[in-house]
Amino acid sequence: MTMSKHDTPENNLSKALEDIRAGKIVLVYDFDDRERETDMTIASEFVTADVLKRMRNDAGGLVCTTTPNRTAKELGLPFLSDVFWNNRDSYPLLGLMAPNDIPYDNTKSSFGITINHRRTYTGITDSDRALTINEYVKTIFSDEPADNKIKELGEHFRAPGHVHLLNTTSKLLKTRHGHTELCTALMYMAGVRPSATICEMLGGNGIANSKEAVIEYSKKNGMQFVTGEQIVEAWDKFLEETGMDV
């Protein structure tokens, strides 16, 4: 990914969208004033056991799969913080542990429920998680009515499991600028099913890899590196051109 004098942030993003459509991993840095972290991301429909192995070995964070807000609401896939809050009368500690003090985020956590496909064994192996992610995406974005998709989710998945779901906020990238939203926006702009599978890149010292270290990694491995600023700017143009409401 060596930048030439003719490269610009705009055409760098275009290359990232091309890679997403081709089923490749791209690297997404959020913001200097937010997490200051980079996530490996790939369109969930292209996740394989080999992809998950690379995320484990080269990224090392938590593997998660995103769901657009409207889809989550349609299918009854809750934010986990809401599940906890709504059960605080039975389990008071859950109310006391509400995520109301996240230092880089004014909204609640994007974590949803965790799932395994019923055909998995333990659910944690690379092949098991790839199966869960692939089948989840096929199900939630099928052309079936919502009631049918809900029935299929109940028949074919169990919760809790080993795949962590993340729900985007409504009005994508208007109220929250986390990797959940940034990477899902990339999927919309690439024209693939709008679910991203993501994993934070951590260094050998146990903390997030620096932006500079990730850029060097991207060059060595032929991966595109994009920033939150690039994505937000492109997303605003995309909404203006398409009139999409997500």
**Mean residue pLDDT across the chain:** 93
Is 116 an annotated catalytic residue? yes
CA 157 centroid distance within chain: 19
Q: Which two tokens stand for residue 52?
A: 């998950």
Q: Which two tokens stand for residue 132?
A: 């869960």
Q: Of the listed 37, 69, 116, 183, which one is catalytic?
A: 116
Q: Which two tokens stand for residue 99?
A: 């995520």
Is 86 an annotated catalytic residue? no
Is 104 an annotated catalytic residue? yes
Residue ranges per structural domain of the chain: 9-242
pLDDT tens sequence across 166-215: 999 999 999 888 999 999 999 999 999 999 999 999 988 888 999 999 99
Which 3 state secondary structure label does DSSP give 191?
coil
Amino acid at 42: I
So what's the architecture of 9-242 in CATH? Alpha-Beta Complex (3.90)
pLDDT tens sequence across 80-98: 999 999 999 999 999 999 9
pLDDT tens sequence across 112-159: 999 999 999 999 999 999 999 999 999 999 999 999 999 999 999 999
The strand pairing partners of 111, in sequence order, are: 166
Is 64 an annotated catalytic residue? yes
Is 117 an annotated catalytic residue? no
Is 106 an annotated catalytic residue? no
Indicate the Cα dihedral angle 234, 236, 239, 242, nearest 10°: -50
